[in-house]
Amino acid sequence: MKTPKRICIALTCASMLSAGLPQALAETPAPAKTTPADFQAKITKDASPLPNNGQLQMSYATVVEKILPSVVTIHSSAPIKTPEIDQIPPQLRPFFYRFFGGPEGFGGMNEDDEPVNPRGRKGQPQRPQEAPEDESHQQRGVGSGMIISSDGYVLTNNHVIADAKKIEVDVDTDGTSQTYTAEVIGADPLTDVALIKINATGLKTATIGDSSKLRVGDIVLAAGAPMELSRSVTQGIVSALGRSNEGIVGHGNGQSRVKGYEDFIQTDASINPGNSGGPLVDALGRVVGINTAILSRSGMNAGIGFAIPINMALNIVEDLLDDGAVQRGFLGVQITDLDATLSERLGIKEHGGAVVMMVGAGSPAEKAGIQLEDVIVSINGQKVDNSSRLRLIVSGTKPGTQIPIELLRGGKRSTVSATLEALPEEALSEVGGGTRAIPRPGAASTPKENVGELVTGVTVQTLTLALRERHDIPANVSGVIVTKVDADSRAAAMGVEEGDVISHVNRKPVANAAEARTLAKGSDKTVLLRVYRKGDTMLLMIGNN
């Protein structure tokens, strides 16, 4: 039977290889502290336009000669993680113990293929010890990077060096290769950017371009070490700009990504495992991106590669140099794209922008006067085409910055000003699908007209004084309360939770369960709910079937 083809997402750092790492290493002392201003002074930049409007040329040998001396190969190694006992299926434990060794205190297998302790008795095995850090217990990877300062700063991907105990960088100079031990200056898993440092001087550096000037169709070259073939270059064009990480990069090497924190350049320049962290350059050899991911059925090049814009990467680097961490702006709203369905439901003729679906209590958005159903069309002077663009602009703005926000409210445009705060850690967590347990009132004390199913899988009840006190709902919040949510329903998947107070159905206020059900049944396809939850207000659009 043929194995069905499936699209797989592949980060382009090579699989852990069995080949040994270079032996001759130049030891690296801890680098001196460098300020962002000093760092910017070290970088060579060129933002001039392409000659002849970027017309095709017959050879890129000059470009390759310019970029290759700054391209390095990065070897990383980390201890192999031994599976926890409870992660190994019981039926596979005998095989695991026999061929890979048992945990501490393991005394072998009995006649029933069960682990026994050294005294010969059956027992619960202890957890395995950590694998010793020798050559046979190291997983190795190969990636790429680029030298961006003559004193040894190297830009690469976070997933190339993530969790590595040792990082080694091969630098080719005039046909001679030298290997250095590198230190991590800082890394940001959310954008997959990392900055490392080697102890060297007089290195040849990459020239940094301006990724904001890229156009779809521009010629680009990808350099790196695909399949361990160092100093390799491929050529293609910019296939698309502004790709979000949704459907491109999911979870790689244990590092989760959060939608909206990347703005990929898509290219058909051949990118393969090992190219990660290498430069994507324009027709003049100026770095415009960092090769980071591919979309492929096989995990190999399929003409769909992605690079992080260099402008974004350098902004991240400035934060990493400061204290090793990235500070992101926080507005305090949940948003969605203004599509045709939502435009019709909200009575808006325009398309494009981000619809405010939730305003956090006490957030910068609430303080600025942003409301549910507002459509954000520009922020800080930059046009907002969709929700991903808004998240990208806000996250790339320093906390404490006051920014103007242009809104579309009730068919009229207005502008408010918000002062961004630092993005809290909990804002990075995915919204859970769990529900809160709520004591349910007895049927005998609840009239039938005051309780019922609003949409499939969601039961609501008229908000009484007792329920209001029990769930600490303010006196100025009115509507119906959700008392039950079917975990397998579409409503649960869209975020409805027990304890939510629904104040409006299809933009009309509701005072009791019967009124809410009548309004919901009047919708053919979707129901728009305004919800109050623990101080926050939000909009949820639920399929009505």
Could you give the residue numbers annotated as active site? 159, 192, 276
Task: Rounding to the nearest 10 degrees, give the CA dihedral for residues 74, 75, 79, 83.
Answer: 80
Number of other CB atoms surrounding residue 258 within 10 Å: 16
Q: Which amino acid is at 273?
A: P
Contact in structure between 148 and 206 (CB atoms under 8 Å):
yes
Number of other CB atoms surrounding residue 118 within 10 Å: 10
Q: CA Rg, the chain, in Å?
A: 28
Q: Is 324 left (phi over 0), alpha (psi -120 to 50) or beta?
A: left
Q: Which amino acid is at 307?
A: A
Task: Tell me the H-state helices in 410-489.
Answer: 465-470
Contact in structure between 484 and 498 (CB atoms under 8 Å):
yes
Contact in structure between 170 and 203 (CB atoms under 8 Å):
no
Closest CA to 370 of 418, 424, 427: 418
Q: What b/e sequence results for 423-456 when a residue is b if at least 16 CB atoms lie within 10 Å of its CB, and e otherwise? A: beeeeeeeeeeebeebeebeeeebeeebbbebbe
Write down the residue that tokens 């959060």 correspond to: 258
